[in-house]
Amino acid sequence: MKKLHFWLIDYGCMIKNWLADLFFTNPPKDYLEKRGENKSDIIILPGLLGKWSFMKCIADMLSEEGHAVHVILDLKNNIFDIPHSAKIVQEYLEKENITGAIFVAHSKGGLIGKYFLHYLNNDKRALGMISLATPFAGTIMAKMIPHRAVKELSPESPIIEELGKNKEVNKQIISIMASFDNHVWPKEGVILEDAMENITVEAFGHHKIVFDKETHDIIKKSIRKICGFSNL
């Protein structure tokens, strides 16, 4: 019964923030106007079926911290395949002439970020990534939904297997996971071998982790850690 309770709360978060799409089509202009000294360019990468507004609470928090927060509207609702989405990210970074960016990603967004770091980061436009509830080893749940965008997240999908073999960029990634994740099965699928860090927070739910204060505090610390690591 407790897990059912977590599922219901988590889906409440999911529905609430899908509705946010109706009100927050475009990001605030001050996301890019309030950058403080010694702050970073943050690239928001939402999960499957999620537009940027699903992560608005994180984007707002990082903007208030003085970071320049970038939203890539061309990702739309994130149902493109992972390589195509990563190419969209590359095109955005090149167009805006961004270097030294940090990805803050949820779920599938973390797979897009890892693909970029491994295959498309030759000019070092990104320093690293902070991922939330990303199924780096895939999730068995994806087998239950016969849509290509979901099946791509299955443990046996070619892209999941390919990314799993490419471990050299894992040291640029901090993986944050919920104590209970109702979408990533088995839960160990979020653990990233040789990551800069794997961190578990007390949030209960695949979507709820996005809105958790502990998660937000760790994201702020993790940005500083990635920036410091890059200067070693």
Report if residue 9 sits inside a domain. no
- When pLDDT is cut at 50, 70 and 90, the band that residue 232 belongs to is very low
For the entire predicted model, the pTM comes to 0.95
Is the pLDDT reported for residue 79 higher than 70? yes
Rounded Cα distance between 41 and 32, Å, is 9
State the average pLDDT over residues 126-142: 97
Total tally of structural domains belonging to the chain:
1
The secondary element (H helix, E strand) that includes residue 10 is helix 2-19
**What is the percent of the chain with per-residue pLDDT over 70, rounded to a whole number?**
95
Domain with residue 61: its CATH number is: 3.40.50.1820
7 in a structural domain: no
Residue 11 belongs to a domain: no
| Residue 162 reports pLDDT greater than 60 | yes
Residue 25 lies in a domain: no
Give a yes or no: residue 29 inside a domain: no
The secondary structure of residue 35, as a DSSP letter, is: P
With beta carbons less than 8 A apart as the criterion, state whether 173 and 222 touch.
Answer: no
pLDDT exceeds cutoff 90 at 160: yes
Domain that includes residue 95, residue range = 41-230
* Helix 158-165 × helix 108-115 angle, to 10°: 60
Dist CA 132 CA 104 (whole Å): 8
Task: Tell me the C-alpha distance between 134 and 188, whole Å.
Answer: 11
pLDDT, average across residues 82-101:
98
pLDDT of residue 229: 64
Q: Is residue 208 part of a domain?
A: yes
Please report whether residue 53 resides in a domain.
yes
